[in-house]
Amino acid sequence: MHMGLHMGLENPHRKSFDPLHDLGAPLIHFDFTKVARTSKFPIKTDAGKINDSIASTGATVGNNIRLLASHQFDTASCPDAGVVLVNSEYFSFSGFTTSGSDVTILHNVTRNIAGTQSAHSSEDTIQIVAGEYQTVHGSGSAGTGTGLRDFSDWTTDELKVVNEGSGGGSLTIPTDPAKRPEGLNSSGLGKVHRSCLKFDGGNDRMALSSAITTTNGDFSVIFVHRPDGNPSNDCIIAGSSGGTNQIKINANTLLIRFNSSGSANTFNQIRANNTVAYSVGSRGTPVDKGGATISFLDNQSEFLALVKEKNATDNQEKVYLYDVQDLIGEDLLNSSGTGGQSGYPDNSENPSNTGFQIEHIGAFSTDSSDYSGEIAVISVYDRALSASEIALLQEYYDNLYPSLHHE
């Protein structure tokens, strides 16, 4: 049963509909499809080592950087022009020489475009930080850098993804490729529709410039994503420390904890087979999307909307979960760490109304519970969106991502 549009709200198929403005500005909004094909997120490439020492002053020898044998970049993932980091000094380059599948020499090197200029020793680590690809921009032959950006004007300000929501700030992009999600991905959600960011489940994580907290206990969180197979404690967003503020996914469960004060947990595990409706404050009868043993999140492209609000009638803290078609779960909050299953749907649990703090995307601050999969959109609204507003978002994102999971 697909929720239709209500109360005269605007049809999202019209070009005028904008989830950034027509529902009121979200507190946080990241549309990673806008940056995944840019120089900010090159394909993952293992760090290499430089072959020759670099003096503290002057240009590199021949305006090149040679890479040490057995510690070279791979031609399949190395940008044709971009930025590399050696110790704390950033260098730009354009074009490279190859031997088989190895990049052996970076050409047209400009040093100290950012960071601190200093001497570097043979076998120092070199990392790819940013770059563009001939295959993406359709100009010149691979490895030439022809028609691509001159990265000598690059600055560290580009290591950011700006929050388009009202909360301001930005995500910091790690310079270490092992900790940076990959753009330009060609699988799953990204292949069928548009590029998004791929998190490898290892230690990919991005942190906000400062934590953002909802002003009260009512909020809504929107995801468009595709988890890899058999998700288990995969954290999509988390607060400043540990798991006090978090949203994680398992095969058929969304786990949330939030308390902006960082003390006791307000806790819930909402399952996709919570098909009992609230006696008070129900938004409808939830549709079973998998039951207790079937994963509705396993390798599925999903729109998920989590709405938390304090019901005015019975003063209970309530949670609603939607996919792109339906309301798929309702549940109460508690403080026991067991979720709202006991006594559901109208038990006596009623934790204090508290805000949700967000600072990290892709893992906890400790780089644990890492998310594995692709993320296109994350939005956080500083209020509980209504059922009719969720319907607008369902249709809007279903139109943008036509292979979102339907049942």
Question: Domains along the chain?
Answer: 28-39+160-400 (2.60.120.200), 48-156 (no CATH)
Q: How many CA atoms are closer than 13 Å to the CA of 370, on its beta-carbon side? A: 18
Tokens read off for 265: 């947990």
Are the beta carbons of 46 and 202 closer than 8 angstroms? no
**Which residue is listed with tokens 């369902």?**
394
Its sign, for the CA torsion 380, 384, 388, 389, is negative
Closest CA to 209 of 158, 161, 242: 161
DSSP-derived secondary structure letter, 290? S
β partners of residue 378: 30, 223
CA 394 vs CA 131, 224, 283: distances in Å: 35, 10, 15
Per residue of the chain (407 residues), give pLDDT as tens.
344 333 334 444 445 778 999 999 999 999 999 999 999 999 999 999 999 999 999 999 999 999 999 999 999 999 999 999 999 999 999 999 999 999 999 999 999 999 999 999 999 999 999 999 999 888 888 899 999 999 999 999 999 999 999 999 999 999 999 999 999 766 677 776 678 999 999 989 999 999 999 987 899 999 999 888 778 889 999 998 766 788 988 877 788 888 766 555 566 667 666 666 777 778 888 887 765 555 666 678 889 999 988 877 777 778 888 999 999 887 766 555 454 444 444 444 555 657 789 999 999 888 889 999 999 999 999 999 999 999 999 999 998 888 887 77
Position 190 scores a pLDDT of 72
Instruction: Return the ∠ at Cα 201 (arms to 197 and 203), rounded to 5°.
Output: 90
With tokens 């390798």, the residue in question is: 299
The neighbouring-strand residues paired with 54 are 120
**The two structure tokens encoding residue 62:** 């021949």
Whose CA is closest to 244, among 370, 355, 371? 355
User: Beta strand 96-99 with 102-106: parallel, antiparallel or unpaired?
Assistant: antiparallel
Report the pLDDT value the prediction gives residue 27, as an integer from 0 to 100.
Answer: 97
pLDDT the model gives residue 345: 47
How far is 124 from 358, CA to CA, in rounded Å?
A: 36
